[in-house]
Structure 1
């Protein structure tokens, strides 16, 4: 049998050399190490993609709102009007139609109402709330009673829509970073209470900083940003321990 100093082949064996068990274990260990190192990077990229998708959602809601205002005499979409919703409404109610269903004709894709990072047992639901301070009231008799855009003194600094969720009753009085999203709410949340709202102590509808401690928000002027709750001006009422 002819051999050279570079190749040694035993009789009865092919020219390929199989890995030994130890070598395979070393390879698997290296692969596991690489995956463990790359795993957090993949999660970070995925979360950033979801954050950007959410930001795009609220930006599109702001554009839809501008179109709505143009068709309604420069009036902001009300939080809710006193009339029965249409069949298949995003927010089912007996005698009230809420802002998601008022904006729906201008949105075109119901998925824009869903934050990709929200936690909901049903797998769907509204992920954004409307600032009750902007809507003028929780419920108005008709759309003609809504607030006009010109009444907002600082539209670029006034939140219109933002990441929101119903939080659990056990966490609603805690600091913001301890709020836990109530995943049992099948329809999500479409209301955004502020500390000055009368509903603050009773309704657990809160700003939800889903994106690593930050929330996406659309403003009355139509732009959208990713900001912390403090930057957005949301927090517990003054005097809370």
Structure 2
């Protein structure tokens, strides 16, 4: 009895199958990439939400005062910074690491947190020397930037000007980490009231102030602070 040999694919049929697989791969890759980017954005938002809660818990234990960016009167070597002040309220150094940044999370030690030079920026205008500002003095907490995607842990340090702002946000994406609008063109931002939003860069940088000043410029002389007050869109 002769064995029947099953028919084989012809070269043309194999090429057709390979072509179909290539087309399907090309169609699926953008969707997969978009899903991964969305997941990173959500993880980053979750980080900021928890860090914002840590700031508010710190303020609750400190008679309403937000932590300063840095306190030069203790620990030496530049003092202690906001990352160290708030760490005990979340105990997870990974929260300081944006998932889209090439930087690694700092070590969960005093020295590691002190050296944190990373990808969430703290609104320096929320501080007053070695003391944090009273949260009650922030006139519009739902519009006041607290922490956000950036290229520096302190924005703006000592000089409210547009040039320094651009450098410290790292808009050129050429130094320590990627630019602030690294989540599909949006800047993840947690506000003083604790809510998190992904702001388009033009909205993040907009404010009713002179063009050479940072968008959250603060007049320190009298009155309540109005940090980060912007023509704010509906939340989305």
TM-score by length of 2: 0.72
Contact 1:193 1:206 in 2 (8 A): no
Contact 1:193 1:200 in 2 (8 A): no
1:122-176 CA-to-partner distances (Å, cap 9, x unmatched) read: x446320001112235xx2xxxx321111111111100000011xxxxxxxxxxx
Query: Is 1:205 aligned to residue 179 of structure 2?
Result: no
Separation in structure 1 between the aligned mates of residue 79 and residue 212 of structure 2, nearest angstrom: 35
Aligned-pair distance for 1:197? 3.5
1:100 match: 83
Query: Is 1:159 aligned to residue 145 of structure 2?
Result: yes
- Mind listing any 5+ residue stretches in structure 1 that lack a counterpart? 2-10, 86-92, 166-188
Separation in structure 2 between the aligned mates of residue 97 and residue 199 of structure 1, nearest angstrom: 25
Aligned-pair distance for 1:232? 2.5
Relative to structure 1, the CA distance from residue 202 to residue 82 in structure 2 (aligned partners, 3 Å threshold; closer, same or farther) is same
Contact 1:155 1:220 in 2 (8 A): yes
Contact 2:145 2:192 in 1 (8 A): yes
- Mind listing any 5+ residue stretches in structure 2 that lack a counterpart? 107-117, 171-179, 214-236
Counterpart of 1:64 (choices 54, 64, 81) is 54
TM-score by length of 1: 0.70
Aligned-pair distance for 1:199? 6.2
Contact 1:216 1:225 in 2 (8 A): yes
2:99 match: 116
Counterpart of 1:133 (choices 115, 125, 128) is 125
Q: Count residues in correspondence.
A: 191
1:227 match: 199
Relative to structure 1, the CA distance from residue 157 to residue 228 in structure 2 (aligned partners, 3 Å threshold; closer, same or farther) is same
Separation in structure 1 between the aligned mates of residue 137 and residue 55 of structure 2, nearest angstrom: 16
1:184 match: none
2:135 match: 149
* Larger of the two Rg values belongs to structure: 1
Counterpart of 1:21 (choices 2, 11, 25) is 11
1:238 match: 211
